[in-house]
Amino acid sequence: MAETKNENLRFSIYTAFAIALLVLICLTVYICVHFNAAIFSTRHTETYSIIKADTFDTINDNTTPLGIYNELAFTLPAIPKNGSNLVFFVKHESVEVYIDENLVYSIAPDNSSFIHTTGANWCIIPIYPDDTGSIVRIKLSPLYNSMNGTQPTIYLGSQYKIYEHLLIPNIIIYLTCLLAVLCGLFFILFTVINLTNPHVDKSLLMVGIFSLLIGIWKFMDLDYTALIIRNSIVLSYTSYFCLLMMTIPFISFLRKSFKDSDNFLWNIPCIANIAVFVIIIALQLTSIKDVRDNLWLIHAVMLSNIPVVIIMFYKEFKEHGWSHKLKLAFICAFVCLAGLLSDMITYYIFNGSFPSFLGINCLLFYIIVLGASSHKDARTLMAIGSQAKELEQMAYHDQLTGLFNRTAYAKYTGQDKFKPEGHIVAMFDLNNLKTCNDNLGHEQGDSYIIESAGMIKRAFGSYGNCYRIGGDEFCVLLYGISLSKCEQCISDFKKMLSDYSAAHPDSFPINIACGYELYDPDEDYDIGDTLRRADKIMYNEKFEMKKKNNEQVR
């Protein structure tokens, strides 16, 4: 009973997780279509330099979201004839750029909606030669407390040279994100393709989703991505949404490494994840609090994995000892959680301004090692299952004709759920098979058997199982059809025999006697009695065929 309740709870968690993913996808698409920061610019080069601000002040202003804004100012140096660009990166801040008191660029959130942020933006302001010596003021209004006091690095020069400078240190981490996404797609596709295969661990789907979420999360979270994907708001929210949904696939996959995978403790972080999802989305849609304001809740859910994992590892070790699989899971889980913890600590120390790459690398280690191990186990089980299927094929099928054999007939009719009611038994006997073998050889005899089996299969295979139960004896068990339909099949079968003889006048003639009977509870104790009655009718037809051809009946 407890196991059933646990399975129901797990099903509810997975269902809620699927619904949550669908909601987030729909919300992301909606944000992508309807929202973006309002960017204004009145300004339309081979090197670059970094500008150091002359002043950086925090000024009180009740009209801003937090009641303050930060302002930095500097004097523009000599600008080349072909012009230049001011480039700097901001996150969750309103921006106003003035050149000699003229507003030339701004970014502001859309306060009329439930989206309260400008997201992550690379601000690019063209600078002209006649701007030389002008005073530039950049006014930054943080939208969250964690962004207060952050001072952006300001580049002046060719924007393409600046892009190149920014991309080079990020290449490795982008490749890591790509690897995580590719791993996720591989595990998802492998599981979907083998969805009906009982030997494939379906939790590989969860590790695939986990890997996909990690890759997308980190890709969207990197500063340089804002130069690739221009919708800054979608960037920010997609990153948070991916982070929000990581706990359930992580726990769902890890628990499969434990013998006590049904323990209720595993469900606690998953239930917390769903609860936090509901709270965060409700607060966002009602404009009470932005997802970014509730990031601590997402981190709290992720941290809840740590005590659960520690307790379950200790419990598993005490009850079952250290198996190879458990050791591997322990190492991977420890590295994974340590990486996440490191990222969180770095985030809160530096207010999200310092990009920590340890987390994704640790998570990727977890995915590759445990995922590859589970995939290897799945492939091994599939190979064993394939061998077992081949052995079963050999055990229950006649090697010459491919039809079911006597063992398969006995297994089918002997199972507890088999009910003889409604079954028709048709019996067949190949005339003169011995004569064919004696006079023409066993190769010709085998051809006689194969051709006969093929015609029986074509005539009756759509309505029941065909068996070769002896050297020259065949049986067909028909179910769910009427006697008149059976008679039609017999007629079709005899026409096949006639057509074959006409098409092969020089071959050994194929003559097959047949008889059939419907199970009758008044006459038959079991299906065996029906078979004997059908066999008797078949033998009578065989006798008549032999008599007609002046052959000896054996």
Q: What DSSP assignment string belongs to 514-538?
A: EEEEE--TTT-SSHHHHHHHHHHHH
Separation between Cα atoms, residue 398 and residue 310, nearest integer Å: 55
- Angle between helix axes 324-350 and 247-254 (nearest 10 degrees) is 160
- Burial of 437-466, coded b for 16+ CB within 10 Å and e otherwise, reads beeeeeeebebbbebbbbbbbebbeebbbb
Tell me the CB-side half-sphere exposure of residue 235, using CA atoms within 13 A: 25
Residue 433, amino acid: L
Question: What is the DSSP secondary-structure string of 414-458?
Answer: HSTT---TTEEEEEEEETTHHHHHHHH-HHHHHHHHHHHHHHHHH
Point out the least confidently predicted range of 139-143, 229-233, 349-353: 349-353
pLDDT at 325 over 80: no
Tell whether the model's pLDDT for residue 487 goes beyond 70.
yes
- Asked whether the beta carbons of 403 and 453 are under 8 A apart, the reply is yes
Count CA atoms closer than 13 A to 55's CA, side-chain side. Answer: 12
Per the document, the length of the chain is 554
Instruction: Give pLDDT tens digits for 464-483.
Output: 899 998 888 999 999 888 88
CB 532 within 8 A of CB 520: no
DSSP strand pairing (404-405 vs 464-468): parallel
Model confidence, pTM: 0.62
247-264 per-position pLDDT tens digit: 898 888 888 878 888 888
Q: Identify which of 386, 338, 359, 378 has the alpha carbon closest to the alpha carbon of residue 256.
A: 378
pLDDT of residue 16 exceeding 80:
yes
pLDDT reported for residue 1: 52
503-522 confidence digits (pLDDT tens)? 888 888 888 999 999 999 98
- DSSP-based three-state secondary structure for 46: coil
Residue 174 Cα to chain centre, angstroms: 22
Tokens describing residue 541: 């037809």
The percent of residues above 70 in pLDDT, for the chain, comes to: 89
Q: Which helix (H) or strand (E) holds 286?
A: none
Q: Is 369 buried (19+), middle (13-18) or exposed (0-12) by CB count in 10 A? A: middle
Q: At what angle do helices 232-244 and 295-303 cross, to 10 degrees?
A: 30
Q: Could you count the other beta carbons within 10 Å of the beta carbon of residue 309?
A: 24
Q: What is the pLDDT of the chain when averaged over all its residues?
A: 83
Residue 190 contacts by C-beta under 8 Å, 6 or more apart in sequence? 200, 204, 208, 375, 378
Other C-beta atoms lying within 10 Å of the C-beta of residue 467 = 26
Give the whole-angstrom CA distance, residue 160 versus residue 549. 97
Cβ neighbors of 57 (< 8 A, separation 6 or more) are 70, 71, 72
Q: What are the tokens at 165?
A: 């400078």
Per-residue pLDDT tens for 370-389?
666 666 666 665 554 555 45
- Of 60-74, 124-138, 206-220, 329-343, minimum mean pLDDT range: 329-343
Predicted confidence band at 6 (pLDDT cuts at 50, 70, 90)? Answer: confident
Range in 145-154, 235-244, 338-347, 395-404 the model is least confident about: 338-347
Residue 70 reports pLDDT greater than 80: yes
Tell me if residue 129 falls in helix, strand or coil: helix
Query: What single string gives the DSSP state of each residue in 341-355?
Result: HHHHHHHHHHTT-S-
**For residues 401-409, average pLDDT:** 88
- CB-based contact 143:65 (threshold 8 Å): yes
Does residue 309 contact residue 160 with C-beta atoms inside 8 Å? Answer: no
d(CA 24, CA 413): 53
